[in-house]
């Protein structure tokens, strides 16, 4: 009987120890789950409020100069205005200007407008867009040889950057911000003849020790039905940045614009920024069903009537939140 009781006691001890081990294991598992949950939790970082009327007005102002085509009066006037706006927001501004011989033998006057904010900050983010407009409405059915307003194709990306410049001057982020507004981007007829401004910047700019950690290019970002996909070169050169920005968009409730759908490679200004050694993504409108750009692309419908203040505000918030999270 004593021997039997001994076995029973030993069995009870084993069961108690097993229960304790399982309980400890469960507690550790809960702690790990809780820790992982905390790591994955997304909290909106405080940032200035985006004013959708302000962003829209920046597009409107650019359009008021007329088509900003090379060698035009509108080009000269808009160039001065853009530089003055960045200076008013405490950016150190430089003009990278000159004459470039185009594919058709025409000499194009250009002004790349470069702005740098908080040069005391070693960690930096780059924002880019082109500010020139298409000299021909080659995708239209009429007046095909006349220049377009370029409210979306050019104007929208610049407007978002100007709004960001205005806001970071009010509340400074933890990083420095560099801006390049490229000229003579939209003069081309084939891939290598587009993006002259960013090609010149890539070749002539000597990046100093304050090299941006990544870049965001903004192109055609004001359409009411805008959709931004995972552009091919962005995936190849800057996938972590792409994932970061699209995740911010999703968490902020702007997922209707930012779709994690694979897209082809687009020769845009970001391509040459990447070639300069800065990982850069392209936020650009492309229809996932047809693979086409907005219906207004390179037509006279690319005017202020087809610009959505709500779209501009959403994209501005996503980029601004990305900057303030650094």
The candidate with the shortest Cα–Cα distance to 228, out of 216, 236, 220, is 220
Q: What is the mean pLDDT of each run of 10 residues along the chain (326 residues)?
A: 38 40 42 46 94 98 98 98 98 97 97 97 97 97 98 98 98 98 94 92 81 97 98 98 98 97 96 96 95 96 98 98 98
pLDDT at 23: 42
pLDDT at 7: 34
pLDDT at 192: 82
CATH code: domain 52-324 is: 3.40.630.10
What token pair was written down for 96?
């990278």
Q: pTM of the prediction?
A: 0.88
pLDDT at 40: 63
Give 184-188 contacts, CB < 8 A, sequence gap 24+. Answer: 184/70, 184/100, 184/102, 184/108, 184/110, 184/132, 185/130, 185/132, 185/154, 185/269, 186/130, 186/132, 186/133, 186/134, 186/135, 186/150, 186/153, 186/154, 187/70, 187/102, 187/108, 187/132, 187/135, 188/103
- Give the start-to-end residue ranges of the domains of the chain: 1-41, 52-324
pLDDT at 105: 96
pLDDT at 1: 40
- Rounded CA separation 174/163 (Å): 18
């Amino acid at each position: 009987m004593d021997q039997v009781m001994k076995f029973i006691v030993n069995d009870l001890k084993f069961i108690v120890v097993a229960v304790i081990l399982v309980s400890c294991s469960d507690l550790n598992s809960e702690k790990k789950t809780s820790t992982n949950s905390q790591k994955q939790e997304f909290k909106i970082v405080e940032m200035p409020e985006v004013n959708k009327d302000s962003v829209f007005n920046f597009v409107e102002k650019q359009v008021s100069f007329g088509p900003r085509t090379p060698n035009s009066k509108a080009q000269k006037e808009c160039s001065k205005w853009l530089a003055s706006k960045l200076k008013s927001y405490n950016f150190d501004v430089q003009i990278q200007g000159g004459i470039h011989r185009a594919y058709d033998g025409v000499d194009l006057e250009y002004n790349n407008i470069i702005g740098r904010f908080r040069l005391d900050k070693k960690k930096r983010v780059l924002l880019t867009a082109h500010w020139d407009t298409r000299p021909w409405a080659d995708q239209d059915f009429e007046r095909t040889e006349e220049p377009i307003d370029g409210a979306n194709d050019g104007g929208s990306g610049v407007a978002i950057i100007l709004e960001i410049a205005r806001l970071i001057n009010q509340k400074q982020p933890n990083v420095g911000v560099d801006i390049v507004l490229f000229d003579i981007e939209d003069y081309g007829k084939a891939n290598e003849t587009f993006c002259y401004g960013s090609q010149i910047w890539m070749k002539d700019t000597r990046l100093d020790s304050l090299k941006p950690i990544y870049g965001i290019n903004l192109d055609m970002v004001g359409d009411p039905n805008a959709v931004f996909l995972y552009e091919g070169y962005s995936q190849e050169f800057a996938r972590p940045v792409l994932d970061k920005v699209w995740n911010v968009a999703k968490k902020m409730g702007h997922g209707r614009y930012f779709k994690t759908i694979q897209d082809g490679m687009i020769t845009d200004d970001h391509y040459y920024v990447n070639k300069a050694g800065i990982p850069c993504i392209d936020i650009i409108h492309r229809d996932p069903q047809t693979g086409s750009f907005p219906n207004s692309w390179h037509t006279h419908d690319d005017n202020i009537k087809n610009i959505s203040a709500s779209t501009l505000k959403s994209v501005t918030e996503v980029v601004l939140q990305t900057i303030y999270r650094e």
